[in-house]
Amino acid sequence: MDPYKFRPSSAFNSPFWTTNSGAPVWNNNNSLTVGERGPILLEDYHLIEKIAQFDRERIPERVVHARGASAKGFFEVTHDITHLTCADFLRGPGVQTPVIVRFSTVIHERGSPETLRDPGNFDLVGNNFPVFFIRDGMKFPDMVHALKPNPVSHIQENWRILDFFSHHPESLHMFTFLFDDIGIPADYRHMDGSGVNTYTLVNKAGKTHYVKFHWKPTCGVKSLLEDEAVVVGGTNHSHATKDLYDSIAAGNYPEWKLYIQTIDPDHEDRFDFDPLDVTKTWPKTSCPSSRWPSGLEQEHRQFFAENEQLAFCPAIIVPGIYYSDDKLLQTRIFSYADTQRHRLGPNYLLLPPNAPKSAHHNNHHEGFMNFMHRDEEVNYFPSRYDPVRHAEQYPIPSRVLTGRREKTVIKKENNFKQPGERYRSWAPDRQERFIRRWIEALSDQRVTHEIRSIWISYWSQCDKSLGQKLATRLNVKPSM
């Protein structure tokens, strides 16, 4: 037998998708859920393997969000929302909670310029845009691979990005933000923030509301156009980090107001889209924002200890706040913590910037880099030698789940309406800059005629005049 015949090699690729063990994969786009909209099942071995493999692709810097800076401050409640949540840190106006915040770009490596156009304890992971490219975490590793540099040339290339997203028209809404004038924030202090994912607020009576979180900087939003980004990035490729550091050192502390939008789960069918779809925004008329607490960043942190070792995870919540069946959030519940265990080790929550500020007790011990002192003889539960007990029960959503195991897309995709509405809301000069950026991207030599036609068809379905302008300038007919 030839010992090299069956060794792993791309020369022996199967014509269909498989797991690492060679088992066939018949759906590489959708996670296995309880019914069409239910939560994701742990038994989706392909999803877990795919995400866990992706989480371990880079050492030691982060796979995404490697470039960033952090600051420390406090979070102060300004309005009473106890009718919505029993979360203790939101128990009333005036309550302050220490926070640490990290600002970052997404795709490029730790030393990359901060002027590149890029999508930007209780852990709340946010983005500078309110929507996302994909709605199911099954697609996340492929999405990042498409956005990352070509593995052969190590150059980020438009043809790869446009090829991947041509299969996913759900990305159109995100591209109306990324290719818009706000695509390059001027710095970290002058940009919005959005939680993107849908969480659930639970009050003492167990009543639930879906919630989205939004941050608004009190100093306003500022962005860079392409020519400005070239000048700023050419002068200092760490301009956003320097701006944050210098502002805090000068006592000019940046501040954000946090707002929430809520939906009663009993009313979710009233919309022409799925409220748990991260590619959609909730209309302000139906879901008005409510001003909530304010956050103030007031102390710069030592870079390695409290930036590189800072590890967030959307799964870390407190009583009164819970998850939803948002498919991207469901995947992130596993993925973020799994990434940190790989990057920083299984005991990353013992590191000072990540460690809980309250007393904690469990039987997790030993493992790499465990520096916690323990002298207990009993490291199992339950025990008559250890008085530790279960905590008091707190309310969580109790919706009854019904449905078959299935890998499927949601019914209300509605991929074209919101991107079209956003484009039509802009002034003509802003529309023109958006068109120009798309002309440049679609003019990449390796973008095929088929892919150009698909994108023009997508944008035509969002807005007929937008599609016509792209088609005319590129001399391509839409493939409707």
Cis peptide before 382 (omega within 30 of 0): yes
**Residues contacting 39, CB < 8 A, separation 6+:** 33, 325, 330, 401
127 is catalytic: yes
Smallest CA-to-CA distance from 172 within 137, 228, 117, 129 is with 129
SS3 category, 249: helix
In this structure, is the dihedral angle defined by the CA atoms of residues 211, 289, 316 and 277, taken in order, positive or negative?
positive
Answer whether 331's CB lies under 8 Å from 280's CB: no
Torsion of CA 243, 244, 247, 249, to 10 degrees: -120
245 is in an annotated binding site: no
**Interatomic CA distance for residues 265 and 208, integer angstroms:** 7
Q: Catalytic residue among 65, 108, 168, 239, which?
A: 65
Does the annotation mark 65 as catalytic? Answer: yes
Catalytic residue of the set 30, 108, 121, 127: 127
* Structure tokens belonging to residue 475: 């001399």
DSSP line for 233-280: HHH-TTHHHHHHHHHHHTT---EEEEEEEEE-GGGGGGSSS-TT-TT-
List, in order, residues 6 or more apart from 86 with CB less than 8 Å away: 202, 203, 204, 319, 320, 394, 395
Q: Which helix (H) or strand (E) holds 285?
A: none
Q: Which amino acid is at 271?
A: F
Name residue 299's beta-bridge partners.
Answer: 72
Quick one: which of 174, 180, 176, 175 has its CA closest to 226?
A: 180
Q: Which residues participate in the annotated binding site?
A: 336
Q: What is the set of active-site residues?
A: 65, 127
